[in-house]
Structure 1
Protein backbone atom coordinates (compact mmCIF):
# COMPACT_ATOMS: atom_id res chain seq x y z
CA UNK A 1 0.00 0.00 0.00
CA UNK A 2 1.16 3.52 -0.72
CA UNK A 3 0.73 5.93 2.19
CA UNK A 4 0.86 9.69 1.78
CA UNK A 5 2.13 11.14 5.04
CA UNK A 6 3.49 14.33 6.52
CA UNK A 7 6.77 14.00 8.42
CA UNK A 8 7.83 16.17 11.36
CA UNK A 9 11.12 16.21 13.28
CA UNK A 10 10.49 18.33 16.40
CA UNK A 11 13.15 18.69 19.07
CA UNK A 12 12.38 18.71 22.78
CA UNK A 13 15.48 19.40 24.85
CA UNK A 14 18.34 17.23 23.63
CA UNK A 15 16.05 14.75 21.85
CA UNK A 16 14.77 14.94 18.30
CA UNK A 17 11.65 12.96 17.48
CA UNK A 18 10.30 11.73 14.16
CA UNK A 19 6.52 11.96 13.90
CA UNK A 20 4.34 11.16 10.90
CA UNK A 21 0.63 11.58 10.33
CA UNK A 22 -1.67 10.93 7.34
CA UNK A 23 -1.61 13.79 4.84
CA UNK A 24 -5.40 13.61 4.48
CA UNK A 25 -7.82 12.89 7.31
CA UNK A 26 -9.64 9.61 7.87
CA UNK A 27 -12.96 11.42 7.71
CA UNK A 28 -15.29 8.51 8.43
CA UNK A 29 -13.27 6.80 11.16
CA UNK A 30 -13.54 7.43 14.90
CA UNK A 31 -12.10 6.03 18.12
CA UNK A 32 -13.25 6.07 21.74
CA UNK A 33 -10.82 5.04 24.48
CA UNK A 34 -11.54 1.83 26.44
CA UNK A 35 -13.52 2.31 29.65
CA UNK A 36 -13.38 -0.69 29.82
CA UNK A 37 -14.33 -1.27 26.15
CA UNK A 38 -13.42 1.20 23.43
CA UNK A 39 -14.75 1.40 19.90
CA UNK A 40 -12.97 1.99 16.62
CA UNK A 41 -15.55 2.58 13.93
CA UNK A 42 -14.45 2.97 10.32
CA UNK A 43 -15.45 2.69 6.68
CA UNK A 44 -13.44 0.70 4.13
CA UNK A 45 -11.02 3.54 3.41
CA UNK A 46 -10.38 4.28 7.07
CA UNK A 47 -9.84 0.66 8.11
CA UNK A 48 -7.67 -0.02 5.06
CA UNK A 49 -5.46 3.01 5.74
CA UNK A 50 -5.17 2.03 9.40
CA UNK A 51 -3.92 -1.37 8.25
CA UNK A 52 -1.20 0.44 6.30
CA UNK A 53 -0.36 2.77 9.18
CA UNK A 54 -0.02 -0.11 11.65
CA UNK A 55 2.17 -1.95 9.14
CA UNK A 56 4.34 1.15 8.73
CA UNK A 57 4.56 1.53 12.52
CA UNK A 58 5.64 -2.11 12.87
CA UNK A 59 8.80 -1.59 10.84
CA UNK A 60 9.58 1.99 11.89
CA UNK A 61 10.96 1.51 15.39
CA UNK A 62 12.06 5.12 15.86
CA UNK A 63 8.94 6.78 14.43
CA UNK A 64 5.81 7.97 16.24
CA UNK A 65 2.63 7.60 14.17
CA UNK A 66 -0.08 10.16 14.94
CA UNK A 67 -3.56 9.56 13.52
CA UNK A 68 -5.95 12.50 14.16
CA UNK A 69 -9.46 11.07 14.54
CA UNK A 70 -11.33 13.65 16.64
CA UNK A 71 -12.18 16.04 13.84
CA UNK A 72 -13.77 13.64 11.38
CA UNK A 73 -17.47 13.24 10.69
CA UNK A 74 -19.20 12.41 14.02
CA UNK A 75 -20.56 8.83 13.99
CA UNK A 76 -24.28 8.32 14.47
CA UNK A 77 -23.77 5.39 16.82
CA UNK A 78 -21.21 4.20 19.33
CA UNK A 79 -20.13 5.44 22.74
CA UNK A 80 -17.52 7.46 24.59
CA UNK A 81 -15.59 10.63 23.84
CA UNK A 82 -13.65 10.61 20.59
CA UNK A 83 -9.85 10.58 20.83
CA UNK A 84 -6.86 10.69 18.50
CA UNK A 85 -4.51 7.71 18.11
CA UNK A 86 -0.74 7.50 18.61
CA UNK A 87 1.38 4.41 17.85
CA UNK A 88 4.91 4.06 19.21
CA UNK A 89 7.37 1.28 19.88
CA UNK A 90 8.28 0.62 23.49
CA UNK A 91 11.88 1.42 22.59
CA UNK A 92 11.01 5.03 21.62
CA UNK A 93 10.54 5.91 25.28
CA UNK A 94 7.58 8.23 24.66
CA UNK A 95 5.49 9.13 27.70
CA UNK A 96 1.89 10.16 27.24
CA UNK A 97 2.49 13.24 29.41
CA UNK A 98 5.07 14.49 26.86
CA UNK A 99 2.60 14.44 24.00
CA UNK A 100 0.89 17.86 24.37
CA UNK A 101 4.23 19.69 24.08
CA UNK A 102 5.35 17.46 21.22
CA UNK A 103 2.04 17.91 19.39
CA UNK A 104 2.33 21.71 19.62
CA UNK A 105 5.64 21.47 17.74
CA UNK A 106 4.14 19.65 14.74
CA UNK A 107 4.00 22.81 12.65
CA UNK A 108 6.41 22.54 9.70
CA UNK A 109 6.03 19.17 8.02
CA UNK A 110 7.50 17.60 4.90
CA UNK A 111 5.48 15.46 2.45
CA UNK A 112 6.48 11.81 2.63
CA UNK A 113 5.28 8.83 0.58
CA UNK A 114 6.00 5.29 1.77
CA UNK A 115 5.02 1.81 0.66
CA UNK A 116 4.10 -1.02 2.98
CA UNK A 117 4.70 -4.69 2.28
CA UNK A 118 1.48 -6.55 3.06
CA UNK A 119 2.99 -9.97 2.29
CA UNK A 120 5.81 -9.39 4.76
CA UNK A 121 3.35 -8.16 7.38
CA UNK A 122 1.21 -11.28 6.94
CA UNK A 123 4.25 -13.58 7.18
CA UNK A 124 5.50 -11.91 10.34
CA UNK A 125 2.03 -12.09 11.88
CA UNK A 126 1.76 -15.82 11.23
CA UNK A 127 5.25 -16.39 12.65
CA UNK A 128 4.39 -14.36 15.75
CA UNK A 129 1.14 -16.24 16.34
CA UNK A 130 2.94 -19.57 16.00
CA UNK A 131 5.60 -18.77 18.58
CA UNK A 132 3.55 -16.60 20.96
CA UNK A 133 2.98 -19.35 23.49
CA UNK A 134 6.70 -20.16 23.55
CA UNK A 135 8.09 -16.68 24.17
CA UNK A 136 8.34 -14.36 27.15
CA UNK A 137 7.72 -11.27 25.00
CA UNK A 138 4.68 -9.12 25.94
CA UNK A 139 1.62 -10.25 23.98
CA UNK A 140 -0.62 -7.24 24.71
CA UNK A 141 -0.27 -3.55 23.97
CA UNK A 142 0.54 -1.15 26.76
CA UNK A 143 -1.74 1.85 26.54
CA UNK A 144 -2.63 5.20 28.02
CA UNK A 145 -5.16 7.97 27.46
CA UNK A 146 -4.04 11.56 27.87
CA UNK A 147 -4.90 14.94 26.33
CA UNK A 148 -7.77 13.43 24.28
CA UNK A 149 -5.33 10.99 22.72
CA UNK A 150 -5.13 7.21 23.01
CA UNK A 151 -1.62 5.72 22.97
CA UNK A 152 -0.65 2.18 21.95
CA UNK A 153 2.87 1.12 22.91
CA UNK A 154 4.08 -2.19 21.53
CA UNK A 155 6.52 -4.20 19.46
CA UNK A 156 6.94 -4.96 15.78
CA UNK A 157 4.97 -8.18 16.14
CA UNK A 158 2.02 -6.56 17.89
CA UNK A 159 1.73 -3.77 15.34
CA UNK A 160 2.06 -6.22 12.44
CA UNK A 161 -0.68 -8.41 13.89
CA UNK A 162 -3.00 -5.42 14.24
CA UNK A 163 -2.26 -4.39 10.65
CA UNK A 164 -3.50 -7.82 9.59
CA UNK A 165 -6.64 -7.46 11.73
CA UNK A 166 -7.46 -4.07 10.19
CA UNK A 167 -6.91 -5.47 6.69
CA UNK A 168 -9.37 -8.25 7.51
CA UNK A 169 -11.94 -5.75 8.82
CA UNK A 170 -11.56 -3.54 5.74
CA UNK A 171 -11.83 -6.45 3.33
CA UNK A 172 -14.70 -8.35 4.88
CA UNK A 173 -16.67 -5.57 6.57
CA UNK A 174 -18.45 -4.57 3.34
CA UNK A 175 -19.74 -8.16 3.00
CA UNK A 176 -21.62 -8.04 6.31
CA UNK A 177 -25.35 -8.60 5.99
CA UNK A 178 -26.62 -5.27 7.34
CA UNK A 179 -23.80 -3.05 6.10
CA UNK A 180 -25.90 -1.74 3.21
CA UNK A 181 -28.43 -0.43 5.76
CA UNK A 182 -25.75 1.50 7.63
CA UNK A 183 -25.50 -0.77 10.68
CA UNK A 184 -22.07 -1.17 12.18
CA UNK A 185 -20.64 -4.69 12.03
CA UNK A 186 -18.29 -6.08 14.67
CA UNK A 187 -15.19 -7.47 12.95
CA UNK A 188 -12.51 -8.10 15.60
CA UNK A 189 -11.10 -6.76 18.87
CA UNK A 190 -7.70 -5.87 20.28
CA UNK A 191 -6.86 -6.96 23.83
CA UNK A 192 -4.93 -4.51 25.99
CA UNK A 193 -2.58 -5.01 28.91
CA UNK A 194 -4.45 -4.54 32.18
CA UNK A 195 -3.29 -1.43 34.04
CA UNK A 196 -2.65 -1.71 37.81
CA UNK A 197 -5.68 -1.36 40.02
CA UNK A 198 -8.30 -2.56 37.54
CA UNK A 199 -9.09 -5.73 39.46
CA UNK A 200 -8.31 -7.91 36.46
CA UNK A 201 -11.15 -6.49 34.36
CA UNK A 202 -10.36 -7.12 30.68
CA UNK A 203 -9.80 -4.07 28.51
CA UNK A 204 -10.28 -4.12 24.76
CA UNK A 205 -11.13 -2.07 21.71
CA UNK A 206 -13.86 -3.36 19.40
CA UNK A 207 -13.14 -2.78 15.70
CA UNK A 208 -16.28 -2.33 13.63
CA UNK A 209 -17.03 -1.63 10.00
CA UNK A 210 -19.59 1.01 9.08
CA UNK A 211 -20.19 2.67 5.69
CA UNK A 212 -20.70 6.41 5.76
CA UNK A 213 -24.09 7.98 4.94
CA UNK A 214 -26.01 8.40 2.73
CA UNK A 215 -26.15 4.62 2.59
CA UNK A 216 -27.67 4.59 -0.89
CA UNK A 217 -24.14 5.11 -2.23
CA UNK A 218 -22.89 1.88 -0.64
CA UNK A 219 -22.68 -1.32 -2.68
CA UNK A 220 -21.39 -4.62 -1.40
CA UNK A 221 -18.49 -6.13 -3.35
CA UNK A 222 -19.94 -8.06 -6.26
CA UNK A 223 -23.10 -6.00 -6.53
CA UNK A 224 -23.74 -4.08 -9.71
CA UNK A 225 -23.68 -0.32 -9.35
CA UNK A 226 -26.87 1.48 -10.26
CA UNK A 227 -26.41 3.24 -13.56
CA UNK A 228 -28.21 6.36 -14.59
CA UNK A 229 -30.28 5.97 -17.76
CA UNK A 230 -28.67 7.43 -20.83
CA UNK A 231 -30.31 10.58 -22.18
CA UNK A 232 -32.39 10.11 -25.28
CA UNK A 233 -30.57 10.89 -28.50
CA UNK A 234 -32.26 13.56 -30.57
CA UNK A 235 -33.44 12.25 -33.98
Structure 2
Protein backbone atom coordinates (compact mmCIF):
# COMPACT_ATOMS: atom_id res chain seq x y z
CA UNK A 1 0.00 0.00 0.00
CA UNK A 2 1.39 3.40 -0.99
CA UNK A 3 0.14 6.66 0.45
CA UNK A 4 1.03 10.31 0.26
CA UNK A 5 2.23 11.85 3.49
CA UNK A 6 4.05 14.91 4.76
CA UNK A 7 7.11 14.47 6.94
CA UNK A 8 7.90 17.05 9.62
CA UNK A 9 11.07 17.23 11.70
CA UNK A 10 11.20 19.22 14.93
CA UNK A 11 14.13 19.85 17.26
CA UNK A 12 13.20 19.65 20.93
CA UNK A 13 15.66 19.63 23.81
CA UNK A 14 18.52 18.54 21.59
CA UNK A 15 16.55 15.67 20.09
CA UNK A 16 14.75 15.45 16.77
CA UNK A 17 11.08 14.48 16.62
CA UNK A 18 9.84 13.11 13.29
CA UNK A 19 6.12 13.44 12.58
CA UNK A 20 4.29 11.85 9.64
CA UNK A 21 0.90 13.16 8.51
CA UNK A 22 -1.39 11.91 5.72
CA UNK A 23 -1.62 14.27 2.75
CA UNK A 24 -4.39 15.11 2.31
CA UNK A 25 -6.03 14.42 5.65
CA UNK A 26 -9.14 12.22 5.22
CA UNK A 27 -12.33 14.20 5.78
CA UNK A 28 -14.54 11.36 6.94
CA UNK A 29 -12.62 10.21 9.97
CA UNK A 30 -13.69 11.69 13.31
CA UNK A 31 -12.63 10.98 16.88
CA UNK A 32 -14.43 11.99 20.08
CA UNK A 33 -13.87 11.54 23.79
CA UNK A 34 -17.39 10.67 24.90
CA UNK A 35 -16.55 10.55 28.59
CA UNK A 36 -17.02 6.83 29.20
CA UNK A 37 -15.28 5.71 26.01
CA UNK A 38 -13.50 6.95 22.87
CA UNK A 39 -15.59 6.95 19.70
CA UNK A 40 -14.11 6.96 16.20
CA UNK A 41 -16.08 7.07 12.95
CA UNK A 42 -14.82 6.16 9.49
CA UNK A 43 -16.25 5.73 6.00
CA UNK A 44 -14.72 3.31 3.49
CA UNK A 45 -11.91 5.63 2.40
CA UNK A 46 -11.27 6.63 6.01
CA UNK A 47 -11.09 3.00 7.13
CA UNK A 48 -8.63 2.14 4.36
CA UNK A 49 -6.42 5.13 5.06
CA UNK A 50 -6.51 4.54 8.82
CA UNK A 51 -5.43 0.94 8.16
CA UNK A 52 -2.54 2.22 6.06
CA UNK A 53 -1.43 4.59 8.81
CA UNK A 54 -1.60 1.72 11.32
CA UNK A 55 0.78 -0.23 9.09
CA UNK A 56 3.04 2.80 8.85
CA UNK A 57 3.13 3.09 12.64
CA UNK A 58 4.19 -0.57 12.90
CA UNK A 59 7.15 0.14 10.61
CA UNK A 60 8.08 3.63 11.85
CA UNK A 61 9.47 3.07 15.32
CA UNK A 62 11.25 6.44 15.24
CA UNK A 63 8.27 8.52 14.11
CA UNK A 64 4.94 9.78 15.37
CA UNK A 65 2.08 9.17 12.94
CA UNK A 66 -0.32 12.10 13.34
CA UNK A 67 -3.88 12.28 12.03
CA UNK A 68 -5.10 15.90 12.53
CA UNK A 69 -8.87 15.35 12.50
CA UNK A 70 -10.18 17.51 15.36
CA UNK A 71 -11.95 19.82 12.92
CA UNK A 72 -13.73 16.96 11.13
CA UNK A 73 -17.45 16.71 11.96
CA UNK A 74 -18.84 13.48 13.36
CA UNK A 75 -21.48 11.78 11.20
CA UNK A 76 -25.13 12.52 11.72
CA UNK A 77 -26.76 10.45 14.43
CA UNK A 78 -23.55 10.00 16.43
CA UNK A 79 -24.61 9.95 20.07
CA UNK A 80 -22.16 10.88 22.80
CA UNK A 81 -22.27 11.19 26.57
CA UNK A 82 -22.63 14.85 27.55
CA UNK A 83 -20.45 17.14 25.43
CA UNK A 84 -18.04 14.98 23.38
CA UNK A 85 -14.54 16.45 22.94
CA UNK A 86 -13.03 16.35 19.44
CA UNK A 87 -9.56 14.78 19.29
CA UNK A 88 -6.66 14.30 16.92
CA UNK A 89 -4.90 10.91 16.79
CA UNK A 90 -1.22 10.03 17.20
CA UNK A 91 0.14 6.50 16.75
CA UNK A 92 3.50 6.03 18.49
CA UNK A 93 5.88 3.10 18.89
CA UNK A 94 6.50 2.52 22.59
CA UNK A 95 10.29 2.42 22.14
CA UNK A 96 10.24 6.08 21.11
CA UNK A 97 9.25 6.94 24.70
CA UNK A 98 7.70 10.20 23.58
CA UNK A 99 6.02 12.11 26.42
CA UNK A 100 2.46 13.02 25.47
CA UNK A 101 2.83 16.16 27.60
CA UNK A 102 5.42 17.41 25.06
CA UNK A 103 3.05 17.08 22.12
CA UNK A 104 1.54 20.59 22.28
CA UNK A 105 4.99 22.15 21.90
CA UNK A 106 6.04 19.75 19.14
CA UNK A 107 2.82 20.28 17.18
CA UNK A 108 3.25 24.06 17.31
CA UNK A 109 6.66 23.73 15.60
CA UNK A 110 5.71 21.38 12.76
CA UNK A 111 5.65 23.83 9.85
CA UNK A 112 4.61 22.75 6.33
CA UNK A 113 6.74 19.58 6.19
CA UNK A 114 7.89 17.95 2.97
CA UNK A 115 5.86 15.69 0.67
CA UNK A 116 6.76 12.02 0.62
CA UNK A 117 5.37 8.69 -0.58
CA UNK A 118 5.30 5.96 2.04
CA UNK A 119 4.86 2.34 1.01
CA UNK A 120 3.95 -0.65 3.18
CA UNK A 121 3.48 -4.22 1.91
CA UNK A 122 -0.11 -5.20 1.12
CA UNK A 123 0.27 -8.22 3.42
CA UNK A 124 1.92 -6.35 6.27
CA UNK A 125 -0.66 -7.61 8.78
CA UNK A 126 -0.99 -11.25 9.84
CA UNK A 127 -4.05 -13.26 8.86
CA UNK A 128 -6.69 -13.26 11.58
CA UNK A 129 -6.37 -17.03 12.02
CA UNK A 130 -2.63 -16.76 12.68
CA UNK A 131 -3.02 -14.50 15.74
CA UNK A 132 -2.82 -16.31 19.08
CA UNK A 133 -5.21 -14.21 21.16
CA UNK A 134 -4.83 -16.44 24.22
CA UNK A 135 -1.25 -15.38 24.80
CA UNK A 136 -2.46 -11.83 25.49
CA UNK A 137 -3.64 -13.05 28.88
CA UNK A 138 -0.19 -14.27 29.92
CA UNK A 139 1.48 -12.16 32.58
CA UNK A 140 4.68 -11.80 30.51
CA UNK A 141 2.88 -10.56 27.37
CA UNK A 142 3.76 -6.94 26.56
CA UNK A 143 2.31 -6.27 23.11
CA UNK A 144 -0.75 -4.37 24.27
CA UNK A 145 -1.91 -0.93 23.17
CA UNK A 146 -1.85 1.96 25.62
CA UNK A 147 -3.97 5.15 25.53
CA UNK A 148 -3.15 8.65 26.70
CA UNK A 149 -4.63 12.09 25.97
CA UNK A 150 -2.78 15.40 25.78
CA UNK A 151 -3.46 18.66 23.93
CA UNK A 152 -6.77 17.34 22.51
CA UNK A 153 -4.95 14.36 21.01
CA UNK A 154 -5.39 10.64 21.66
CA UNK A 155 -2.06 8.83 21.81
CA UNK A 156 -2.22 5.14 20.91
CA UNK A 157 1.11 3.60 21.91
CA UNK A 158 2.31 0.08 21.21
CA UNK A 159 4.92 -2.24 19.75
CA UNK A 160 5.17 -3.22 16.09
CA UNK A 161 3.41 -6.49 16.99
CA UNK A 162 0.58 -4.63 18.72
CA UNK A 163 0.02 -2.35 15.74
CA UNK A 164 0.17 -5.23 13.24
CA UNK A 165 -2.22 -7.49 15.13
CA UNK A 166 -4.73 -4.71 15.77
CA UNK A 167 -4.19 -3.60 12.18
CA UNK A 168 -5.54 -6.98 11.08
CA UNK A 169 -8.80 -6.08 12.82
CA UNK A 170 -8.87 -2.67 11.10
CA UNK A 171 -8.21 -4.29 7.74
CA UNK A 172 -11.18 -6.57 8.37
CA UNK A 173 -13.37 -3.53 9.07
CA UNK A 174 -12.25 -1.85 5.85
CA UNK A 175 -12.80 -5.03 3.81
CA UNK A 176 -16.05 -6.27 5.31
CA UNK A 177 -18.01 -3.23 6.48
CA UNK A 178 -19.06 -1.88 3.05
CA UNK A 179 -21.00 -5.10 2.31
CA UNK A 180 -22.16 -5.72 5.89
CA UNK A 181 -25.60 -4.17 5.39
CA UNK A 182 -26.27 -6.34 2.33
CA UNK A 183 -25.24 -9.50 4.18
CA UNK A 184 -27.11 -8.53 7.36
CA UNK A 185 -30.04 -6.29 6.37
CA UNK A 186 -31.29 -5.90 9.92
CA UNK A 187 -27.93 -4.84 11.35
CA UNK A 188 -26.74 -1.36 10.40
CA UNK A 189 -23.98 -1.21 13.01
CA UNK A 190 -20.51 -2.49 12.16
CA UNK A 191 -17.58 -1.73 14.44
CA UNK A 192 -14.40 -2.91 16.12
CA UNK A 193 -13.18 -2.12 19.61
CA UNK A 194 -9.68 -1.79 21.05
CA UNK A 195 -8.76 -1.56 24.72
CA UNK A 196 -5.87 -0.07 26.63
CA UNK A 197 -3.69 -2.49 28.54
CA UNK A 198 -3.92 -6.23 29.15
CA UNK A 199 -7.57 -6.25 30.20
CA UNK A 200 -10.75 -4.29 29.64
CA UNK A 201 -11.24 -1.50 32.18
CA UNK A 202 -13.31 1.70 32.17
CA UNK A 203 -10.35 4.08 32.46
CA UNK A 204 -6.55 4.02 32.38
CA UNK A 205 -4.26 5.12 35.19
CA UNK A 206 -4.29 8.62 33.66
CA UNK A 207 -8.10 8.66 33.70
CA UNK A 208 -8.35 8.24 29.93
CA UNK A 209 -11.25 6.08 28.68
CA UNK A 210 -9.94 2.54 28.31
CA UNK A 211 -11.99 1.61 25.24
CA UNK A 212 -11.69 2.85 21.63
CA UNK A 213 -14.81 2.08 19.59
CA UNK A 214 -14.32 2.44 15.80
CA UNK A 215 -17.59 2.49 13.87
CA UNK A 216 -18.03 2.25 10.10
CA UNK A 217 -20.44 4.74 8.54
CA UNK A 218 -21.23 4.55 4.83
CA UNK A 219 -22.99 7.93 4.96
CA UNK A 220 -22.01 11.04 6.90
CA UNK A 221 -25.37 12.81 7.12
CA UNK A 222 -28.27 12.21 9.42
Judge same fold: TM > 0.5, yes or no.
yes
Unmatched segments (≥5 aa) in structure 1? 216-235
> Is 1:40 aligned to 2:40, yes or no?
yes
CA contact (8 A) 2:180 2:190 kept: no
Moved over 6 A (4+): none
Please point out which of 183, 192, 196 is paired with 2:205: 196
* Greater relative contact order structure (CA < 8 Å, 6+ sep): 2
Which of 110, 114, 117 is residue 114 of structure 2 equivalent to?
A: 110
Please name the residue that 1:144 is paired with.
148
In structure 1, distance between residues paired with 2:131 and 2:220: 39
**Unmatched segments (≥5 aa) in structure 2:** 198-202
TM-score (norm 1): 0.79
- Secondary structure (helix, strand or coil) at the match of 1:118 reads coil
Equivalent pairs, count = 211
What is the CA–CA distance in structure 2 between the aligned matches of 1:202 and 1:8, rounded to whole Å?
A: 29
* Aligned-partner Cα distance in 2 for 1:120–1:143: 23
Q: Which residue of 2 aligns with 1:60?
A: 60
What is residue 49 of structure 1 aligned with on the other side?
49
With the length of structure 2 as denominator, give the TM-score of the two structures.
Answer: 0.84
Larger radius of gyration: 1
Deviations 1:195-228 (A, max 9, x none): 2386xx982111110023469xxxxxxxxxxxxx
Q: 1:17, 1:116 → 2: CA distance?
A: 21
Change (3 A) 1:197 1:31: closer
Matching residue of 1:227: none
Deviations 1:139-184, CA, capped at 9 Å, x for gaps: 43221111111111111111112221111111111122289x9x96
1:221 corresponds in structure 2 to none
**Alignment RMSD:** 2.8
What whole-Å deviation, never above 9, does each CA across 1:71-129 have from its counterpart, x for those lacking one? Answer: 22442113222200001111111111100100011103111101111313225993564
Q: Which residue of 1 aligns with 2:200?
A: none
Distance in 2 of aligned mates of 1:137 and 1:34:
29
Cα 1:63–1:169 shift into 2, 3 Å:
same
- 1:109–1:68 Cα change, 3 Å: same
Distance 2:87 2:163 in 1: 19
